[in-house]
Amino acid sequence: MSLTSLIKRLEDIMRPDPGIDGTAQRLSQIVWILFLKIFDYKEEEAELDDDYQPVIPEGYRWRDWATGASLKDQRTGDELIDFVNNQLFPALRGESIEDENGVRAIPFPSNTPRALLVKEFMSRSHNYAANGIQLRMVLNLFDEVDFSDADETHEFNDIYETLLKSLQAAGKAGEFYTPRAVTSFAVKHVDPKLGETVGDFACGTAGFLVDSLRHLEKQVQPGDTKAMESLQDSLIGQEFKPLPYMLGVTNLLLHDIALPNITYGDSLDRKRLLDYEDEDCVDCIVMNPPYGGIATEADKAAFPADLRSSETADLFMSYIITRLRINGRAAVVLPNGFLEGEDNTRIAIKKLLFRQCNLHTVIRLPESVFSPYTSIDTNILFFDKTGSTQETWFYRFDKPEGYKHFSKTRPLLPQHFQPVDEWWDNRVEIADPEVEGAWKAKKYTVDELVAGNYRLDKCGYPHEEEEILPPDQLIDKYRTDKQRIETQIDNLLVQIMSVINNDTEKNA
């Protein structure tokens, strides 16, 4: 089954269902079905060992309810919807259900790690389908996928990634997807090694974790079962929104992680920042923390007063520094607001970064990297915990020749980072060819950065002459500019609130 034909068939089947409204709900529907299909396939593999006991109880496994020896044996229509809503979901959440004799019992009492994964996942899931016939068609379509066929599994992984990309066109859901070109570039230069742990504490759909897995798999020698087993414990994630949590867990299952270690919940308020110990730390961190959001009171309360901010990205930066192990390495995507910020809180965070870490590289990214979701200017900060910062290289990643903007039809691709890769291993200062006195790449000492009030917005983009665009592109540009301006206003309000809160605390 080709990638294009499967996606088209799924869309054609699900679009008429009155219970499913829009891309995000379609994805949510697909992901719980896919999760149960993959989980059962992995269970069947494990059952080849005679001592293995299946996690999901009989009657609720994919093979028991989603398939049938013939069409007449398959549940469909109202019967299927009733079973899914009133038996399957409650049972797999660990709730009690009523049998045909009116007796209530809990069919899934197990609390093993894999059982808890199923319960957590299904507790965050919802069946949006209202038409049992169309749901039956979707189940049968997924049942055609043979996960024992390596080629078909690989193709399905590509299909899943294509579905994740569709999040970018799903309004707010787009914040959960970081372009593959960015994740692969960041992972490549953090360079996780076998035996190390890799963390992403706002992991979204697990793009950074999957790219880390791919990077680690290349280091495994054929037949090295011990190394393959170590991969299972290498990836650590956390996500506090239900849809990306489900997408991330399923993404790792698709990539043969038997027990995805992605925790559902808010990373920032798990415990006080100062209470984290070495056992809580990881060797590598690669992530794109949420920015532009307003932190909760519980989030802020977990941080020392000087690091307390209403901007989630600022809190995450302190959190990342704290959870990075000594000699660890990190790559973090952050907006210009952090680089430019001169308020007391951001300066305190940068002082912490310079003191505890070696901020060795800042890659400035073009404004349309995350298009069409947002045109916010972003950067990748690379640092390690090998010592304090002494000098930092800045490099401006210019758009490829012929590109005015990245877009849905002309996205950022991994090969576009080739000039950055070439410079990375042979670092030289590069003068801006168009602006006298400006730089495309330059090294700054820590003393120079401190003297500049900790501003990290070096090697920025020159002002471009206004381009006359066709009407459709002009409308798109207007929308992205509107989003950027609104975000800038939100960030300014966050800074104002932070100053007000700090003054209130001092006067209290």
Read off the pLDDT band of 185 (50, 70, 90): very high
pLDDT of 251 reads 87
Retrieve residue 144's tokens.
């055609």
Whether the CB-CB separation of 339 and 345 falls below 8 Å is answered with no
Confidence of residue 373 (pLDDT cuts 50, 70, 90): low
Taking the C-alpha atoms of residue 505 and residue 491, their distance in angstroms, rounded to an integer, is 21
For residue 503, what pLDDT band results from cuts at 50, 70 and 90? low
CB 40 within 8 A of CB 184: no
| Tens of pLDDT, residues 375-399 | 788 999 999 999 999 999 999 999 8
In percent, the amount of the chain with pLDDT more than 90 equals 60
Q: pLDDT confidence of 174, banded at 50, 70, 90?
A: very low
Name the amino acid, one letter, at 366. P
**The pLDDT value given to residue 469:** 53
What is the DSSP secondary-structure string of 217-279?
HTTPPTT-HHHHHHHTTTEEEEE-SHHHHHHHHHHHHHTT-SS--EEES-STTSS-GGG--GG
pLDDT category, 172, cuts 50, 70, 90?
very low
pLDDT band at 508 (very low <50, low <70, confident <90, very high): low
Compute the average pLDDT of residues 206-222: 94
Write down the pLDDT at residue 24: 77
Phi, psi of 5 (to 5 degrees): -70, -35
For residue 142, the model assigns a pLDDT of: 86
Q: What is the mean pLDDT of residues 24-35?
A: 87
Q: 441, exposed or middle or buried, with CB in 10 Å at 0-12, 13-18, 19+?
A: buried
Checking if the pLDDT of 229 tops 80, the result is: yes
- Please state the length of the chain: 508
pLDDT at residue number 495 = 73
> How sure is the predictor about 171, in pLDDT bands with cuts at 50, 70 and 90?
very low
Band (pLDDT 50/70/90 cuts) for residue 252 is very high
CB-based contact 406:368 (threshold 8 Å): yes
And the tokens for 90?
């409650």
Residue with tokens 């079905």: 33
Which band of pLDDT confidence, cut at 50, 70 and 90, is reported for residue 481?
confident
Q: Model's pTM, two decimal places?
A: 0.85
- Which one of 57-71, 353-367, 487-501 scores highest in mean pLDDT? 353-367
Q: Average the pLDDT over each of 47-61, 62-76, 292-306 and give the range with the smallest value.
A: 62-76
Mean pLDDT of 71-82: 90
Collapsing DSSP to helix, strand or coil, 216 comes out as helix
What span, in angstroms and rounded, lies between the C-alpha atoms of 499 and 326? 32
- Per-residue pLDDT of 281-325, as tens digits, reads 999 999 999 887 788 999 999 999 999 999 999 999 999 999 999
465/421: higher pLDDT: 421
Q: Which amino acid is it at 312?
A: T
Taking alpha carbons only, the member of 93, 154, 146, 97 closest to residue 124 is 93
Least confident of 72-76, 148-152, 301-305: 148-152
- Spatial separation of the C-alpha atoms in residues 256 and 231, rounded to whole Å: 10
- Using 50, 70 and 90 to split pLDDT, how confident is the model at 507? low
Helix axes 242-254, 150-165, angle to 10 degrees: 160
In this prediction, residue 496 carries a pLDDT of 77
Q: How far is CA 83 from the centre of its chain?
A: 33
Average pLDDT over residues 428-434: 93
Average pLDDT over residues 486-508: 70
Q: Which residue has the higher pLDDT, 28 or 463?
A: 28
